[in-house]
Amino acid sequence: MHPPSSRPILAALPLLTALLSTACGDRARDDAPAGPVPRIWTLRHLRDDAAAHRPLPEGLAALAVGEPVTPRGRPLPQWSPPYHRLERLQDQGQDGFNVLPAFREGRPVALAVLEVWEHMPEVWVQPWYVLVTDYDPARPADVHRLAGALPLVDIGEDSVFYSPFWEVTYVVVPQGTPPDRYRSAVDLYSSGLPMYRGGGLLAPLAPADVMPAMAEGGVTPLRPLSGDSVGAPGRGEVWLRGRRVTYLDFGTRAFTWNTKAERNGVVDEAPLYLFATVDTTGRAVPLGLPPVLGSDGRAGAPRIGALTRPHLVLLPPGAAPFVPSELGSLKAELRERGVPVVDAHPTAEQLAEAKDYVLRVALNPECFQELTRFPQACRWLDSRAAVEASVEPAAVFPQDVLFTSPVLPFAGWTPGS
């Protein structure tokens, strides 16, 4: 991420970009050759589509990562058959973005798909303005933040330039400034206030009544398969061109972006590997197994990247997921999808740590029948390094879609730690 700078930001260029965004977008649509049309589904769009039973975005439906949102009162996909004997319904008090099981760097993780970007080759950071009464590079917002003032943004969900990946910009205002004095970026720039660059913030603009999916009667969101309690993001409000809108706060260590001149501001993407097989037409078809989340590959980068590009990965010959015998209905469905299933030894299934390996793929699934060496005897496909070392590049297919897919904290582990 950008280190905090001691130099004020030049005001003209960001404002010019914001003011021209709509006009440039319209002209590009009129003159562009025929081809795939870029489109963004935000969490608001995904929730509204789910509530109205509209089809999923093509890039999401075809990848079988599961429904992104479960409206209130409807069955939770991975807490209902075939994963469980009985249906469990989403809490009636709110809609829920689904918690999806995944693996990363040899560990189980929980992630969510909050936004879908189809035919968008790259995503850029956008400015997020925070009002302070003094600027201290060591502690820019801890002490001097203007009490009661909301942050400000200038790019909303209706723009093709929208991004949930923000670069924090500290704006120094005089002591005694009313907290609602500035409600738009135009107001800030017209006042000629000093501005200083800060770090990054992942904060999707989102409805206030959509949080991690939670079953009726539950006390906390849970990660499917393992049942671990999952933390929820913070919530807040921000000024967007004079009106208050709500957002979800996933913190400051969820992504990085490019700082080279020719690609400055482009958010770094991480691969999201989804296991697949080949159908009778020769097309790669996802199997619906938990994905493997890779790092964004940059030296010194946070441990996760919240902008992911799905990659279909053909399941290597002989590889299979670990499926305990209690999930008999799921075993049958996986076989119908063409997933090899190897029965596990009862001793392996009863281990306390076995819950962390449910549906994790092993190259040598005969290890599931080991009496004493499970899970250490298994060669797991649960990291970017393992996938790249075990799967031929010709069997990996990047997709023309991007996800805003933050990792959610659970079991004492915080994303980015």
pLDDT tens-digit series, residues 45-79: 999 999 999 988 888 877 777 789 999 999 999 99
- What is the distance of C-alpha 33 from the center of its chain? 31
The pLDDT value recorded for residue 140 is 74
396 contacts 313 by C-beta, under 8 angstroms: yes
The pLDDT value recorded for residue 211 is 96
The pLDDT value recorded for residue 412 is 52
Query: pLDDT: is 371 or 168 the higher one?
Result: 168
Q: What is the pLDDT of residues 359-385, one digit of tens each?
A: 999 999 999 998 889 999 999 999 999
How many other C-beta atoms are found inside a 10 Å radius of the C-beta of residue 218?
A: 15
State how far the Cα of 347 lies from the Cα of 276, in Å rounded to an integer: 30
The pair of three-digit structure tokens given for residue 358, joined into one six-digit string: 């449910």
The pLDDT value recorded for residue 264 is 87
290 contacts 385 by C-beta, under 8 angstroms: no
Percent of the chain with pLDDT over 90: 73
Nearest C-alpha neighbor of 200 from the set 409, 406, 370: 406
Q: Binning pLDDT at 50, 70 and 90, where does residue 253 land? A: confident
Give 284's contacts (C-beta < 8 A, 6+ positions apart). Answer: 276, 277, 278, 312, 314, 397
Query: pLDDT: is 100 or 280 the higher one?
Result: 100
